Amino acid sequence: MTGSLEPALRAGAVLGESPVWDDRTETLLWVDIRRGEVHRFDPAAGTDESVSLGQPVGSVALDEDGGLIGAVGISLGRIDEEAATFSPWHTVREGDRMNDGACDPRGRYLAGTLTEPLVEGASALFSLEPSGALRRILDGVSLSNGLAWSADGETLYYIDTVLERIDAFDYDLDTGTPDPASRRTIVDLRQSPGRPDGMTTDSNGNLWVAMARGRAIRCYDTRGRLQHLQYVPSPVVTSCTFGGPDLSDLYITTGQWPATAEELRDWPDAGAVFRFTGTGATGYPATRFRGRARRGPA
């Protein structure tokens, strides 16, 4: 495909994840899960600032009032970047730690869990409501990962990495509930190198998925047809999102774990944040959490 890929930030992340473009500050949020860090990268200035929370950070989301919402350790709550603190609102029982998350079009924060070592079906997907309440909305998950929605918000796209596919659910925007009976496979990735991890959509409705251990970003339409394939010079490719002033730059997070020493020698930019330009695609502004970000749950 056309376009240009380059390291935007040679971060050396152990496990970079959860890229979120902040359109108010024109900066990229991302996390290093295993270092317990939240980063804010300013592409214009070339600076990257971080805070350490002392426990794994699965994902972050923007809050409409400023600040961040996060899935940290095995809890969901508020992150204060200035104080470098995490205030947990809810701790969950299903899984060993939180993983990928994103806000739905109504401002709910959905995030899932995983177990270490993996226990199939022992994790779940949760929804942090604007009221501050927490709901479990999907059971029997093995390794909860990428989340994205159709333009009208009525379809949820979801990745349970162990299943090696992208599934779709009918999604009730009024209640924030996926219909389990509607679950269907949109993209079967079992024959593709690596396994699906994080995901985003573009303004044409295409799904861009990072292939962990597959060294690639793959783009599919919602009929499961491959539209683009971009190789990434890192043994672990974790997630992606559109950013930049016109949301046309695809930012890609990568990691060094669980690569071997030989792989790290072969791929010196492992753990970098890459920028892919000239794809012809654009994304959507990240939805912000629309809840009790300052006061905590009711």
User: Catalytic pick from 63, 104, 160, 197?
Assistant: 197
174 a catalytic residue: no
User: What does the alpha-carbon distance between residue 97 and residue 235 come to, in Å, rounded to a whole number?
Assistant: 23
Among 63, 85, 88, 84, CA closest to 75: 88
Catalytic residues: 197
